[in-house]
Structure 1
Amino acid sequence: MITELHVRGLAGVPEVQEGDDLARVLADAVHASGTALSDGDVLVVTSKIVSKAEGRSRRMDREDAITAETERVVARAGHTRIVQTRQGLVMAAAGVDASNIDPGTVLLLPEDSDASARALRAGLRERLGVNVGVVVSDTFGRPWRIGQTDVAIGAAGLRPLEDLRGTPDNSGQIMEATVNAVADEVAGAGELVKGKTAGIPVAVVGGLAEMVTEEDGPGAAALVRPADADLFRYGSRDVVPARRTVRSFADTPVDPALVRKAVASAVTAPAPHHTTPWRFVLVESPEVRERLLDSMLEAWVADLRADGFTEEQITRRTRRGDVLRAAPCLVVPFLVADGAHPYPDARRADAERTMFHVAMGAGVQNLLVALAMEGLGSAWISSTMFCADVVRKVLDLPEDWQPMGSVGADRPPREADDFVVVR
């Protein structure tokens, strides 16, 4: 157990230039400081000097640089963008820095901060003969908290995480969720002595020998939460645009629990007269699925032949149905308008039907957006609407269930069970 730390800034680090051997620069600063590094120390190095040495400065507009470094926009407010960078980090402005550098120039994050940390560690070992850990740090804002703090975006020779799950706490209770982000904690400690304006880009943290390893280790990449475990992967402004129609699917199974959670979101849609007109048939049986798609294809071909299409034209048109065959998951939404008012005149009867169709469309859109939030690609295909009798027969459903297309998905609260039928 770590009971004491010593943190000091490494003074005397000169202005770093493109092409500098950063390990040599820091080794020289250690010699000049008169205080040697020891085995088990950890150097916290601001990413800025790593980027400078690696030639990551660019003559370009800052906003253009942010766009170029962005893999995905998570959220935006005015000119502020929270993005996922090409390196997989979620942060403000893609880490693009325009402070304390030449006007018109921006500084990008290191291309691979873990690789940078490994190279710097190896260089320091070669020059100083010590086994130290290296953390490359950058400044992050945090959800729910005011202010910024430094975190690790690269690491080598340091266990980045301390997993305490399965161990007892002081009262004997088994911890189930505690994983300490050691590398981030070290980065924050280093920032206390580096500061933003002190001109000290490197801190030395002593007392962590039990966390420093002979191997480089997994690096700071281990701190990046996987997309499927990230409850806040999408910002609120990006929820609806996250839905995209997918035309090709992976062949990996889809977790049925995720689909049911998406259905639970679907049935929060508005509906007329306090009704619940949505039903979602999850076609989980391979045999039922095959029979449904074969029967729909047969009906489609019969319609096309009756319309005078040639066999070649029919083959070309029906090829579009392959999208549903390729999807690992198939959901067929149905409209059940059992709460509709029976108006005697055509005008109001038409309006009543339209109302229910609008509600059903909202439910389907909710389903598609919710699937996207669960990391599932989807495609809404209208084909079931053209052969409603066939669909009802294969799925053994009542005559008043009206199919409203079908949804293929390739990969999570009103309960969904009341609205789900499984065949």
Structure 2
Amino acid sequence: MTANDTASAFTSLYGHAPTGVWAAPGRVNLIGEHTDYNEGFVLPLALPHTVEAAVRPRTDGRLRVHSGQAPDGLTHDLAVGELTPRPGGGWVGYPAGVVWALRDAGHPVDGADIHLNSDVPTGAGLSSSAALECAVAFALNDVYELGLPATALARFAQRAENAFVGVPCGVLDQMASACCTEGHALHLDTRDLAQRQVPFDLASLGLRLLVVDTQVKHDLADGGYAERRAGCEAAAASLGLPALRDLSLDDLDTALAALPDATSRGLVRHIVTENDRVNRVVALLDSGQVRDVGPLLTESHASMRDDFVISCPELDLAVDTANAAGALGARMTGGGFGGSAIVLVEEDAVDPVSAAVHGAFAAAGHRPPRMFPAVPGPGARRLR
């Protein structure tokens, strides 16, 4: 996939050349899962996999959108003045939602022709939807000369997903796609969007971060994600806190004793300990103790499996097998209920760990996993 290919496909579809081509990446989250909508800390990095958007503005109030990966192969033609939130409306809701969010805030977006081309795996917990939203948001920002900074564009992309598509996600995915930089992980405080780029050059240390896409597809709009967000918000309210971010590790045991049920206690325990793990991982990276990050990844997975209850047999098998085969640590990444795991591994252990995971999936009768290295790439940008 190249920008020229995406531009050529646009020209073939619409009969004129695009104004430009923009790209936004998928992401893996090194650590900090479900902490974003609890106003906590996260540590994502951008993948080299991107959604590309070839775009040309229109002046007639029409939005035409086509995706090279959509099975229907149709170009959706919508009136921007009639866009309304449409949960469950399919993939076109993501770009349409960005247009709606910008217009709803008073920005002069009159329509566009858009062709999308993606190599971000869908349903793998790698934020293909956020990449799509951010590619379109960055393109519209440029072609309509809106002058919005990356953090604002990430917020509009999040609003598109929350209010238009109906997925109550936090801002992690959109901020990662918009603001990550090459060779770094993004240490983000999701309360005020304060951020710091943390150097993350594993290759120089003889290490690799592998992504294991279990190919178990999930849909965050199916209720599991929303239930956990609602549970976290209810628990914070019952504890008299603005958000679970405000509960310290020192006060955790007292808070847990005040909660009425095991489900709430599990949600709270995961969020508080996960925020602590994010900050401990950042401290280890800053001090050059990168190999010591591994056990914290595995600890995070156990917390998501046992306390937050968002893992699945395939993810557990990937993590357990990788660790048994010599990985430094592993965890599921993303919203859960399927998707991908990440594995921190010595360079010379990549092949045996990969072979062990493939063998375990075959023995269990699962679909073969897709495995590839995660190398931190740049965030959203214009390609041509």
Query: What's the TM-score, normalizing by structure 1?
Result: 0.18
**RCO greater where, 1 or 2, for CA within 8 Å and sep 6 or more?**
2
**Which of these two proteins has the greater Rg computed from alpha carbons?**
1
The structure that is helix-richer by fraction is 2
